[in-house]
Chain A
Amino acid sequence: MDFMVFQYPMITIQACLDGILLGVLFALIAYGMALQWGVMNIINIAQGDLVILGGYIAYFMYLYGIHPAWGVIVSPIIMYFVGVGIYKLVINKVVDRDLFISILATFGISILFMQLMNFAFGADVVLANSGYGTTFLFDSNVVLPNSKIFSAVVSIVFAICLVIYMKKSKLGRAIRATAQNARAAKILGVDTEKVYAATFGINAALCGVAGALISITFTIHPYMGLPYTIRSFMIVIVAGLGNLPGVAMSGMGLGVFEEFADYILGTEFRIGSVFLLLVLILVYRRFKLSRKREYLK
């Protein structure tokens, strides 16, 4: 236990800013999660592994001499097809089944991806160096790498683009219609199978963007996927499905929480504290609802 973070205001500001910039990324992943959960009623445990896969695409561009920031464009395009492929192979068979089946099936995909990435890219912790330099604030007391600011800005841009796309485009309308009532949408001529595939593809593409940004700002490793899944799940259950400002706010809140946990408990308990927070949030909501004799649905 170390409460240094509260004693020096500069460290507090540093932790808050770091957390917010990180949280924006989490919110982007959680947005994808909310999208496919809302539309297809699927909880995708492989979400985090899609993120890491996207990160490796950017990392390989960096290895071959292309600036990793271009990964933000390339990675979602590749990941879209990966997502559609996963949908065609596995997800379309579990869409209308029990949620637990989808959890277990995507858990299998997650293990599969983890190990394939481990074979293909090695078990080292890697990072794509963007060479963006750092920004110093408050007489150099607060240090912010420009890559983090870049990643936050890009995530916000992507999120806004997607929101506009969902509102205006034909596919976006079809997706929203399917989310509201799949059967009615089918009757009115929406090809729900295509809509589901596109939704899963868009979700994977969002993961690709987030992964590319994570490979620039933080590090990636084949086994780091599950925490991202849990974070996005947590953000979605706190914010609720279809509540975009809520997703953004709770994402940033989670980022700040993690930075503080890192300072107070130490880095080795960081991931553990995220998982414990998930348990605490679920238990809190359960007690709150049980007063009204309801339960989480």
Chain B
Amino acid sequence: MNKNLILYASILVFGLAAPFIFPAFKVQLSILCVLIILAVTWNIQGGEMGYNSFGNILFYGLGMYLCASVQVGMFFPLAEWTESGGEKTFVHTPTQFFQGMAAGLVVAAVVPTIVAGLIGYSILGLRGHYFAICTLGLGVAAGEISGGIEIIGAGQGFTTPPFPNVGGLEARGEFFYFCSFFALVLAFITVRAIYSTRFKLILNAIRDNEDKAEAMGIETMKYKIIGWMVSAFFCGLAGGIMGGLVGYIDSTDVAFDGREMGVFMVLMAILGGKGTLWGPVIGATVFHIFKEGFWTLFLGWQYVALGVLIVVIVIYFPEGIMGWLREKYPERFGEVVDEADRKAQVELK
């Protein structure tokens, strides 16, 4: 326990100091935080509950649009703002900007949670691949529909308010980094707390055999919905922060980007190891480093590389990094290994 405490403290200190140590990577680090949030919360229902969702992008995009809309709509007429596009007729004062951002993030987190609760009963009654395809449909439908709504910019996109210059201080990168970092800390603490309770055992029971879990007297539907709502809360929050960070929201390319973000979160969780606490964190970090490091190498061919990467990871590493480590060093994971048994397995191979 003491060792863990030191580990967490050092990570926290590193996280707080990171934007000042690596000032050139502030935006990348913020994106990394968002990616980790998405991967860790996808893991709640994807890994622990066994409901592989392609639709968490719905909450992410919803949060993004809501945060920006609230931030603008609190002070100025929304329709005129989106209509003016790039040429701003209204300018946020610093106070307005931060008030709007705070209110926007609250709305961006709460509304997707409510949405998840409302649709949860219908959608989570589906199982396995039907759930996967249904959520895929939800995500794409949301993107297509939001691309046709005039008040949030329709096809031409939505420019979020520019960061105000407080007393000649340019602190945009730091501001969004700390937003995403605190969201990440909040998400990690919540998920860790969840994983140390009965709730996680119930989620695992649902994954392993839902019918039996029901027969044991667990109200599976209730727990499934709560699990999804936790995911939705953090996805919405992450979306709201990401909207401000990117500065421009497009319905299918930024917000409801099922082809990128929607697959990334699944991929990161699988790469790190489904159903573990640290797996998605490691997966997201490795994935992000790979993506940023090699994307320039494949310039123009990123999606080809992404497609190949998905196929390779899914076929050859379905257990992920944590799963591989677990197989290699089972003692570290608290599993009792019989030496003779292991030798027999090696011989069998």
The yes or no answer to A21 lying at the interface (CB within 8 A) is no
Interface string of A85-119 (1 = CB under 8 A from B): 00000100110010111011101111111111001
Contact with B along A264-293 (1 / 0, CB 8 A): 001011011001101100110011001000
**Is A295 interfacial (CB-CB < 8 Å)?**
yes
A226 at the B interface (CB under 8 A): yes
- Cα separation A279 to B140 with both chains bound (whole Å): 11
Measured between alpha carbons, how far is A282 from B124 in the docked complex, in Å? 11
Query: Is the beta-carbon distance between B309 and A103 smaller than 8 angstroms?
Result: no
Q: A104-B310, A108-B310, A282-B134 are in contact. Are A268 and B147 (CB under 8 A)?
A: yes
> B50: nearest residue on chain A (CB-CB)?
A100
B137 and A278 contacting across the interface, CB-CB below 8 Å: yes
B43 to chain A minimum Cβ distance, whole angstroms, is 14
By the criterion CB–CB under 8 Å, are A233 and B133 in contact? yes
Chain B residues positioned under 8 Å from A297 (CB to CB): 127
Q: Is the CB of A296 within 8 A of B127?
A: yes
- Contact check, B144 vs A296: say whether CB atoms are below 8 A apart: no
Q: How many A-B residue pairs have CB under 8 A?
A: 129
Pick from A93, A94, A119, A272: contact of B148, CB under 8 Å: A272
A230-245 interface bits toward B, Cβ cutoff 8 Å, 1 = contact, 0 = none: 1001000100000000
In the assembled complex, A212 has its CB within 8 A of some CB on chain B: no
The answer to whether B144 touches A271, judged by C-beta atoms less than 8 angstroms apart, is yes
Is the pair A100, B128 in contact by a Cβ cutoff of 8 Å?
yes
Q: Measured between C-beta atoms, what is the minimum distance from B349 to chain A in Å?
A: 18
Do B304 and A275 touch across chains, with their CB atoms under 8 A apart? no
State which of B52, B263, B307 has its C-beta within 8 Å of the C-beta of A112. B307
Chain A residues whose CB sits within 8 angstroms of the CB of B114 once the complex forms: none
* A152 touches B (CB below 8 Å): no
Most buried by A among B123, B141, B266, B267: B141
A-contact bits for B315-329, CB 8 A (1 contact / 0 none): 100100000000000
Complex Cα distance A115/B134, Å? Answer: 24
* Chain A residues, Cβ within 8 Å of B267: 104
* B311 on interface, CB distance cutoff 8 Å: yes
Checking A97, A107, A226 against B263 with a beta-carbon cut-off of 8 angstroms, the contacting residue is A107
> Is A268's CB under 8 angstroms from B148's CB?
yes
Q: Which residues of A contact B126 (CB under 8 A)?
A: 282-283, 286, 295-296
How far does the alpha carbon of A295 sit from the alpha carbon of B133 in the complex, in Å? 15
Residue among B125, B141, B154, B310 making CB contact with A286, cutoff 8 Å: B125
- The answer to whether A101 touches B141 (Cβ under 8 A) is no
* Smallest beta-carbon distance A104→chain B, Å: 5
Q: Does A220 contact B (CB under 8 A)?
A: no
Q: Are B303 and A111 in contact (CB under 8 A)?
A: yes
Return A267 CB to nearest CB of chain B, in Å. Answer: 9
Q: Tell me which residues across on chain B come within 8 A of A295, comparing CB atoms.
A: 125-127
Which residues in B have their C-beta under 8 angstroms from that of A271? 140, 144
